[in-house]
Amino acid sequence: MGTTSGAFSVTVPATSAGTAAKTYTTDTKTLYIGDIADQSAFVGNDATFTVQLPDGLTAKNVRWKGAGLTQNGDSSSFTIPSVTMAMFGAQITATMDVYQGDTMIQKDATGTATLTTIDSLVKGAVTPQLVFSGSNVPNGMNQAQGKVTGMSGEDLGAQTTWSSSDPSLASVDANGKLTANTTGKTGMVNLIGNTLYVTKQFKTTQPVTVARLAQPSPLAVGSTATLTAPNAPSGTKWTYQWQTAAAGSTNWTDVGGATGATYTTPSLTMDNDKQQYRVVVTMADGTTKVTSNPVTLTVNAGGLALREVPSFNFRVAQDGKPLDEMTDPTVQSLINGDFDGSTTDFTNPDIFNKWMLSDSDGNIGLSDTRSPAGQDYQLSVAMTPFKTAAGQLSAGGGTAKVLLYWIDSSGNPVIGGTIPDNNTDTTVMSNQPVNSTTGRLDQQVSALLSVGKSPRAWWATIQAQ
């Protein structure tokens, strides 16, 4: 920033015929003119311009502009990151207010400089330009490798210090290997290499897309699922191939004709429940392929529907032995009515002497495609008269009963309902919230069985004598 001084003359034209023009002379005044040094920078490096002012003066409200960028504030410096050859000859301007102490002595002083860009002596590259984040990503598909070479193509990895523009998206190790995050965050990250070469520092910046194939929301029978792959950056072309696999399978096959960045399934049926999809993206070189994380379809019947009901086999717990060593009930215990279900107090150890136990848990599964899912509903169960394995009624309807229970998040048993064997509907579950991701409820339940006294068992004993 320089200064100049002088007297200014302004001629005012005559306002009417016969009136002479007049000249007014101003007082001598010091004006502040811009002085910003021109800058040269290698392609990929940063270029920084700085306002220079005489001692005792400061610049405020500095409005920078140039190379397609703007910056407003009180900063006397303006940095253009990673310059390109397209920026060659760019004019950089700074318009500012000049202060001496707290007094503004010049408003809107302007400085101008020129940016000269020089082709870099090093070249940077990264392969591939796409990685997938989060869990269940195929091996290696979450990583990309950076590389820097010199004028003769020599590897400059040993002279390069690597960094990531956003470590929350992807981290980089000392060898230039970029690894996507495990949280599923997506975006664009720059792999930055700072290389010392022929006594100069060079910077290379390689953009990498961090993507994740989004898990579709629960779908109703008759609807379709639309899956979307990451788009290639501007000026780059990627190609796509969607693949599918059956539930739980690792045998992936191409979906015929599914070669776009988006894929919409045919109308879904319950057979498509848990079907898997993924996309294979081929980079612009035509050979490098990146495979996405798989997604799994959740297909539910329309409305509120029961998906799964439990099946139980009842046995008798033995004192001092683990539950996996339960035995079948004896005829005598049935005659005596030992399993009469006379207590439902789970704090009373005798409860397991008054009921037979299911030897494994079962699952109550339902789905809800209503909006909102999980609104009012009741699940009721009815049991027909209980029979022995031989098909004989144990003691007529109403004497046997099944108690369903499960353990809540605090480890306490919750009784869902006690169901008599007389074909009476019994509510065992009401308004349990469904999973917001799947639109489903899967409740693991256990069961107890009481049968009371069994005259049929007594009759069978008499016949055997």
| Per-residue model confidence as pLDDT tens digits over 40-61 | 999 989 999 999 988 889 999 9
Indicate if 443 and 338 belong to the same structural domain.
yes
354, two tokens: 């008054």
Between 43-47, 69-73, 284-288, the lowest mean confidence (pLDDT) is in 43-47
Query: What whole-number distance in Å separates Cα of residue 281 and Cα of residue 289?
Result: 6
How many structural domains does the chain have? 4
Query: What whole-number distance in Å separates Cα of residue 409 and Cα of residue 161?
Result: 49
pLDDT of residue 63: 96
Displacement of CA 337 from its chain's centroid (Å): 57
Contact 248, 296 (CB under 8 A): no
**Residue 11 clears pLDDT 80, i.e. is over it:** no
Please provide the DSSP assignment of 349-399 as one string: TTHHHHSEEESS-EEEEEEE-SSSTT-S-EEEE--PPPB-TTS-BSSSTTS
Residues 6+ apart with CB under 8 A from 29: 5, 6, 8
Confidence at 12, pLDDT banded by 50, 70, 90: very low
Residue that is last in its domain, among 102, 118, 134? 118
Q: 331 or 121, which is more confident?
A: 121
Confidence at 1, pLDDT banded by 50, 70, 90: very low
Indicate if 205 and 325 belong to the same structural domain.
no
pLDDT of residue 323: 72
Does the pTM of the predicted model rise above 0.75?
no
Residue 356 lies in a domain: yes
Residue 254 lies in a domain: yes
Indicate if 76 and 172 belong to the same structural domain.
no
CATH number of the domain that 42 lies in? 2.60.40.10
Nearest 10 degrees: Cα torsion 197, 200, 201, 205: -70
Indicate if 196 and 312 belong to the same structural domain.
no
Contact 225, 268 (CB under 8 A): yes
- Which three-class secondary structure state does DSSP give residue 272? helix
Question: Per the omega criterion (within 30 degrees of 0), is the bond before 128 cis?
Answer: yes
Query: What whole-number distance in Å separates Cα of residue 132 and Cα of residue 182?
Result: 9
Confidence at 34, pLDDT banded by 50, 70, 90: low
pLDDT of residue 78: 97
Mean pLDDT score, 90-100 = 94
Contact 114, 92 (CB under 8 A): yes
Indicate if 326 and 444 belong to the same structural domain.
yes
Q: Which domain holds residue 256?
A: 219-300
Indicate if 37 and 69 belong to the same structural domain.
yes
Residue that is last in its domain, among 211, 236, 263? 211
**Residue 322 clears pLDDT 80, i.e. is over it:** no
Burial of 337 from C-beta contacts in 10 A (0-12 / 13-18 / 19+): middle
Confidence at 318, pLDDT banded by 50, 70, 90: confident
Indicate if 439 and 337 belong to the same structural domain.
yes
Query: What whole-number distance in Å separates Cα of residue 154 and Cα of residue 122?
Result: 9
Indicate if 282 and 192 belong to the same structural domain.
no
Contact 300, 221 (CB under 8 A): yes
- Which three-class secondary structure state does DSSP give residue 255? coil
pLDDT of residue 454: 61
pLDDT of residue 13: 42
Strand bridging mode 356-358 / 314-315: antiparallel
Residue 464 lies in a domain: no
Residue 47 lies in a domain: yes
Please provide the DSSP assignment of 126-186 as one string: EE-SEEE-SSSPPTTTTEEEEEEE-TTS-B-GGGEEEEES-TTTEEE-TTSEEEE-SS---
pLDDT of residue 399: 74
Residue 58 vs residues 70, 99, 138, 306: alpha-carbon distances, Å: 20, 5, 57, 75
Indicate if 344 and 445 belong to the same structural domain.
yes
Burial of 50 from C-beta contacts in 10 A (0-12 / 13-18 / 19+): middle
